[in-house]
Amino acid sequence: DAGITQSPRHKVTETGTPVTLRCHQTENHRYMYWYRQDPGHGLRLIHYSYGVKDTDKGEVSDGYSVSRSKTEDFLLTLESATSSQTSVYFCAITALENTEAFFGQGTRLTVV
Amino acid sequence: GQQVMQIPQYQHVQEGEDFTTYCNSSTTLSNIQWYKQRPGGHPVFLIQLVKSGEVKKQKRLTFQFGEAKKNSSLHITATQTTDVGTYFCAGPRAGTALIFGKGTTLSVSS
């Protein structure tokens, strides 16, 4: 498996609290992505990064922000968590545009 | 906007039967990728197709990319219980990131 680690793996948080999920890679890949997975919706792109400090929005970016200050780390922040953000979050990395994506193990987030 | 659709959403087969999932894009794709996600796991890359009409095989799995590069299929011959999971196709979105279909969940009974 590619060197990609997500933390935490599980989290329960209350509505209105901020939450930060971390994705760490040891592959030195340029591109990093955050997806969320919900039943019936497959994998939907939240945000992605194409380099340090270079990020862009995906199809479901509302309520989320990201930061990438180092090649190896890509942080996803929910500024004020809502129940609709209960989901499984996956980080992915690719070496080049549109090439094979390696996924982390996922973070199961529950907002109560 | 750009969409990638997969059918069927669910498929149950008896062990030994064949299985096919279909993927259709609203736009022409430069490539199509297939991933498998086991229950409780994360998506794992299976293959990438690039050429129009391309066919690739991996043991009992056969992948096809349509002539117009807008559709693809994954066929599994003689399914086994180890084939259980959700199969996703994905194509490059205008820009950088991959857009995924909603997946086909395969269950196999022995």
CB pairs A-B closer than 8 Å: 58
Tally of residues, chain A: 112
Contact residues on chain A for B98, CB-CB shorter than 8 A: 33, 45, 98, 101
Peptide bond into B8 cis (omega under 30): yes
Please tell me the predicted confidence (pLDDT) of residue A98: 79
Contacts of A68 (CB under 8 A, 6+ apart): A32, A49, A51, A52, A53, A54, A55, A74, A75
pLDDT at A19: 98
The C-alpha atoms of residue A7 and residue A85 are separated, in whole angstroms, by: 17
Chain B interface, best mutation among A98, A100, A105, by max B CB count within 10 A = A98
Region B15-35 average pLDDT: 96
Which residues pair with residue A97 across a beta bridge?
none
Question: Which amino acid is it at B81?
Answer: T
Residue B50, by phi and psi: left (phi above 0), alpha (psi -120 to 50) or beta? Answer: alpha
Q: What does the angle CA B57 – CA B3 – CA B42 come to, to the nearest 5 degrees?
A: 55
For residue A97, what pLDDT is reported? 83
Do residues B3 and B25 touch, judged by C-beta distance below 8 A?
yes
- How far apart are the CA of A34 and the nearest CA of chain B, in angstroms? 10
Phi, psi of B18 (to 5 degrees): -90, 160
Nearest CB partner across the interface for A106, out of B30, B42, B93: B42
pLDDT band at A85 (very low <50, low <70, confident <90, very high): very high
Cα A36 to Cα B43: distance, rounded to the nearest angstrom = 12
For residue B42, give both structure tokens. Answer: 């994360």
Interface test with A, best of B26, B29, B44, B45 (most A CBs within 10 A): B45
Task: Give how far B21 is from chain A: nearest CA, Å.
Answer: 15
Rounded-to-integer distance, Cα A99 and Cα B90, Å? 11
Give the chain B residue whose CA is nearest to the CA of A55. Answer: B96
Residue for token pair 């340029």:
A30
Distance from CA of B16 to the nearest CA of A (A): 27
- Chain B hits for A40, CB-CB cut-off 8 Å, are 9, 102
Over residues B46-102, the pLDDT tens digits come to 999 999 999 999 999 999 999 999 999 999 999 999 999 999 999 998 766 899 999
